[in-house]
Structure 1
């Protein structure tokens, strides 16, 4: 993998999130891929399970969000990216994630792990 291929995969991920259905997932994830939604969460394993999780986690393809990403590192088949997602218009929810991805030779993801972080509440909001 190289930075351009990883950036293209992340763009395909965003496009798939914005597209009805889950057909694109078969081109993005290997049949036996694992998808971990947080460092302490059990992985979702296999394309059918990832497809079910994908459908249950998103509000639908019309969900309003802005996503930006930066590929931080690529070493062989493994890549790390920093991804910021702001939901709503105006944005009322924000996440800054680190994604750790391992890819097969054909460019499909074998292992996806996200480390999601949300901003801390401001002191005025904590009351």
Structure 2
């Protein structure tokens, strides 16, 4: 991973999985022993099977959210992106740290999200 262009296929795959909730789409994103951090101070989801199961427990309905993003930093094996997730009734800012293995799958994913003020 040494260019912004290489981030795009993984993020497009993530958004595809987000909208399909297909276990194969989700599974394809992560290594067998991947770690997924969903929020600060919580235990991460460990391993592909746990990631898929927990993802599906918290899934959004297909097409429910729109996601826009841009890269913040890209290095050889890590990408940091900033995004905005928009639902019909709420909006979140996102910061993702994605650590890759050479084949383009994720070995460690960290997401931070903040709900926009509802005022």
TM, length-normalised to structure 2: 0.92
CA distance in 2, matches of 1:97, 1:11: 16
Gaps of 5+ in 2: none
Q: Hey, which bits of structure 1, 4+ residues long, moved more than 4 A?
A: none
- How many Å apart are 1:63 and its aligned residue? 4.4
TM, length-normalised to structure 1: 0.86
CA RMSD of aligned residues (A): 1.3
Q: Which residue pairs with 1:86 in the alignment?
A: 86
CA distance in 1, matches of 2:43, 2:107: 16
Gaps of 5+ in 1: 123-127
Higher deviation after alignment, 47-56 or 33-42: 33-42
- Corresponding pairs, count: 118
Once the two structures are superposed, what CA deviation does each residue of 1:85-119 show, in whole Å capped at 9, x if it has no partner?
Answer: 0112xxx1111110001000000000000111111
CA distance in 1, matches of 2:90, 2:73: 27
Query: Which protein shows a greater Rg?
Result: 1
Once the two structures are superposed, what CA deviation does each residue of 1:58-88 show, in whole Å capped at 9, x if it has no partner?
Answer: 133x341111010111112011000110112
